[in-house]
Amino acid sequence: MKTRKSNSYFRIILIMLAGAIVGGVFGIGMYILTGHYGQGIGRAAAQTFRFLQLSILPMLVVITVLSVIAGESVLRKLKGIMSRLLKADDEEADRLDYEEEKYVALSTNMNIISQTLCIVFLSLGYSSNYLSSSDAARGNFLYACIIFIICMLYDSFWQVRYIKLIQKAYPERKGDPASKKFQEQWLESCDEAEREVIYRSAYRTYITLGKLIPVLLLVTMLSNLFFNTGMLAVFIVAVIWLVSTLSYTRSCVALKEEKALVK
């Protein structure tokens, strides 16, 4: 047991040492790169950013159109699967249940990707320099805001339609999509097998975030070091890490307390 503990400490030291070496090599490489090509990289980044700013309106239109096409196609597919699921035997039901879950995951991902891309592209115009550059820039940004609102409304309404579709096929599923307690209501209406899937998926998500957030924190720190991106990004990522950890530990303590009170 003592040897195992010693090996654990030694392994942690090796991991930290390897990280320090990789970070040092990367830092030296970035210092040399920015020293020799810093101005060229800066000009290329400025030109790319300017091109993206000019593309705000057409990109938002494309995202909105693709969101509508994809959303309607997936809803139509889900309706077909659910209608067959109600009449299927056990073996066929298992296959259709998997198909349903696959399309539900696909549709959820597409919905979130649509909203994220809309926010990212609209944020390119959130610049006083860009808005004050010309009347055309202000006009394009105004139209972009209108398209953004349309896309976000469609994505939000799509989520409600999707929930209503699930509830129509499974009347036992409860919850109002517009309610703040929708997640709790939905979870309470699920059976034990469905809850287990949700719990395990949530835990895997927490583990993934626990690995991803430190990497993002490192990237934002290095970006501030070499490209002067500012401390705001570092602060936001640090807050997300803190909130996710505190939320997890608080939930663990609350569940243990609830279990102890029941006994």
Contacts of residue 160, Cβ cutoff 8 Å, sequence gap at least 6: 177, 178
Question: What is the three-class DSSP state of 135?
Answer: helix
Q: Which amino acid is at 104?
A: V
- Within 13 Å, how many C-alpha atoms sit on residue 245's CB side? 10
| pLDDT in single tens digits along all 263 residues of the chain | 555 556 877 888 888 888 778 777 877 777 777 777 667 767 777 787 788 888 889 999 999 999 999 999 988 988 888 888 777 777 777 788 888 888 888 888 988 999 999 999 998 887 777 777 778 878 888 999 999 999 999 999 999 998 888 888 888 888 888 888 888 888 888 888 888 988 899 899 999 999 999 989 988 888 887 777 888 999 999 999 999 999 989 988 888 877 776 65
Helix, strand, coil proportions of the chain in percent (round to 5)?
A: 85, 0, 15
In total, the chain counts a number of residues equal to: 263
Q: How many CB atoms lie within 10 A of CB 77?
A: 15
Question: What is the three-class DSSP state of 172?
Answer: coil
